[in-house]
Structure 1
Amino acid sequence: MLTLPTYLGWNVDFTRPLGEPAFTQPDSVSWRVFKNPAALAIGGICAVLLEFADPRIRSGVWDYSTFKADPAGRSRRTGMAAMIGVYGPQSAARRIIQGVTNMHAQVSGTTPDGVPYHALDPELLAWVSATASYGFLTAYDRFVEPLSDEDTIRFLQESFPVAKLYGVESPLSSLTDFQVLLEKLMPSFEAHPINTEFLRIMKSGRAAPFVPRGLQGLAADAAVSLLPNPVRERLELGTEYHLTRSGKQGIRALGKWANRIPVPNSPAWDAAIRLGLPRSFAWKTPAAQAKILT
């Protein structure tokens, strides 16, 4: 049984209360995507880079969070917060999200260039939500298995209830919405040493001590490859982050392998227990899931 207090300080048990639903259904695209650790790692790094492109978000995270002392740990906590929204019982997800929102209410200040920011600014909330959806969705589509247009829309729509709890007024309903928001914000994007320091740590092997350093480096390069080209150019992330053809093949092989191998005591595994489903439910094909649910 996975209990988050072990390493995150959140009192969440994905196996209890028995029968309590999550905000997403077991046969959802979200259950399919978030069970895959390769997609989570790559998509999470991509999301952080997109967030930090905006100096207001970067300043807020740098000034108020543990990121500068523990960037890898902070990134893992962000990923786990997303997992709670997908797999956790609704009561626990509401409690965690309210706690995060309460913390964000205290986050305000000005960037080094004098631009004011507040973590609950609707525009910043929209961008943080959008970067997470874009990162995880695109990583899965690119490095695990292609998603149809229908599944892409389903994935985005499945995030609405949790995004609304975070205060997002207009969650993404299509990747076109992401592009519109990106074009609106991109004039303020800038290269910054925090971005490159974050990538250096992600490639150093410190982010996940039990994962080979070479794989962590590939994951970071893969994340950079997901950035829209204008963003990558604006952040000045050049050829030193080039994902080679062999690297891409290796990441894809890892992503496909991870899609088939159940992970005991993971959120997807424990959520299935809570809902009275086979523990490996999230790793089954959509056709096999449909048979179980009928």
Structure 2
Amino acid sequence: MTALVLPAPLHRRVEAAAGEFLRPEGLPAVDFAEPKGEPALVPADSLSWRLFKNPISLFIGGVAAVILELAEARVRAGVWDHTRFRTDPVPRLQRTGLAAMVTVYAARSQAEAMIAGVSRRHARVTGRADDGRPYAADDTDLLDWVQATAGYGFGEAYHRFVRPLSPRDRDRAWAEAAPAARLYGATGAPTSQADWEAQLAAMTPRLTPSPIVFDFLDIMRRAPALPRLARPLQHLLIRAAVDLTPPPVAARLGLDPRHGLTPAQTRIVRAVARTADRLPLRNAPPAQACVRMGLPPDWLYRG
């Protein structure tokens, strides 16, 4: 793989758009280039650093993860009843994207502090799901499912739309996510592809349909969720996320092929995702994290 070089004016616009998206209002800025030399939760030569550098597969995988989360009644209630997603989705999406970047690329001390803050907020979220079951956002089984859906979404999106991952790479991605998952309290989250498949098989009978899944997809189609330059692609990326829903879960939720991509649309998404995988953005977390570790900003795009 070689880095892609855009004309300078276009490259500046792309970098500015990406930087703006990862600076949510009301949250302190995260400097991924500091403290110099401090490692992240996963090392710079990890597979995770290469997977998470791709903003297209990251967006697709994040939406796919939420679809799976909303299929679990207690997680669904926690997301829908305790956030402003229905009325103001973009800040929530930005915070979620930033949290993923901090977990993978930020200095360990910054990541641990952020995760501790998230855990404190989860401890205050309780309620009752639409099936009558009580829930708490810090229940271990719910945390395990949320971490599992994220790991599946991000890995599967890269596998389908950027570059196929070998069975060994899939296991490696799960294993690299395990330390952060434990910090979040997800002590039973998958650590291999086989673990994920077993958890999915056990969870699928417990997943339930809900109009909220379709409300979520409708909100995602209408919200200015991506930087302006990428917005014309947004509806295709959401369809791509639907395609990642495992068939047994899609059947339970009422998602069928008409909600996903056509073959021609799949080719478009793959072309865009593969292009994004070659485009270094110097003010984005992957490049800044490389600088923190004494590496060239385009290091992840070489070789």
TM-score, with structure 1 as normaliser: 0.92
- 2:261 is paired with a residue whose SS is coil
Q: Specify every segment of 5 or more residues in structure 2 that has no aligned partner in the other structure, as ranges.
A: 1-15
CA offset at residue 213 of structure 1?
A: 4.4
Alignment counterpart, residue 12 of structure 1, candidates 23, 27, 30:
30
After TM superposition, the structure 1 stretch with the greater mean CA deviation from structure 2, 218-227 or 180-189, is: 180-189
Is the 2:24–2:94 Cα contact (8 Å) retained in structure 1? no
Matched, 1:232 2:243: no
Identity %: 44
What do the CA deviations read for 1:197-248 (whole angstroms, capped 9, x no partner)?
2111222352225145441111011111111101011111124313111111
The amino acid that maps onto 1:259 is D
After TM superposition, the structure 1 stretch with the greater mean CA deviation from structure 2, 52-61 or 201-210, is: 201-210
Alpha-carbon distance in structure 2 between the residues aligned to 1:177 and 1:55: 22
Give 1:119-158 correspondences, 5 Å limit.
119-158=137-176
CA offset at residue 113 of structure 1?
A: 2.6
Residue 289 of structure 1 is matched in structure 2 by: none
CA offset at residue 153 of structure 1?
A: 1.3
CA RMSD, Structure 1 to Structure 2 (Å) = 1.8
Alignment counterpart, residue 93 of structure 1, candidates 90, 98, 111:
111
Alpha-carbon distance in structure 2 between the residues aligned to 1:202 and 1:228: 20
Q: Specify every segment of 5 or more residues in structure 1 that has no aligned partner in the other structure, as ranges.
A: 286-294
Alignment counterpart, residue 181 of structure 2, candidates 156, 163, 169:
163
- 2:145 is paired with a residue whose SS is helix
Give 1:247-286 correspondences, 5 Å limit.
247-285=265-303
- 2:228 is paired with a residue whose SS is coil
Structure 2 vs 1, CA of residues 8 and 140 (structure 1 numbering), >3 Å: closer, same or farther? farther
Alignment counterpart, residue 238 of structure 2, candidates 220, 224, 233:
220
After TM superposition, the structure 1 stretch with the greater mean CA deviation from structure 2, 35-44 or 71-80, is: 71-80
CA offset at residue 130 of structure 1?
A: 0.3
- Number of aligned residue pairs: 285
Alignment counterpart, residue 25 of structure 1, candidates 35, 43, 67:
43
What do the CA deviations read for 1:142-179 (whole angstroms, capped 9, x no partner)?
00001111211111111111111101112312222112
The amino acid that maps onto 2:259 is Y
- 2:135 is paired with a residue whose SS is strand
- 1:109 is paired with a residue whose SS is strand
Is the 2:127–2:136 Cα contact (8 Å) retained in structure 1? yes
The amino acid that maps onto 2:47 is V
Is the 1:205–1:212 Cα contact (8 Å) retained in structure 2? no
Structure 2 vs 1, CA of residues 6 and 52 (structure 1 numbering), >3 Å: closer, same or farther? closer
Residue 57 of structure 1 is matched in structure 2 by: 75
Is the 2:140–2:188 Cα contact (8 Å) retained in structure 1? no
After TM superposition, the structure 1 stretch with the greater mean CA deviation from structure 2, 27-36 or 179-188, is: 179-188
The amino acid that maps onto 2:102 is I
Alpha-carbon distance in structure 1 between the residues aligned to 2:220 and 2:194: 29
Residue 43 of structure 1 is matched in structure 2 by: 61
Structure 2 vs 1, CA of residues 263 and 212 (structure 1 numbering), >3 Å: closer, same or farther? closer
TM-score, with structure 2 as normaliser: 0.89
- 1:260 is paired with a residue whose SS is coil
CA offset at residue 25 of structure 1?
A: 1.2
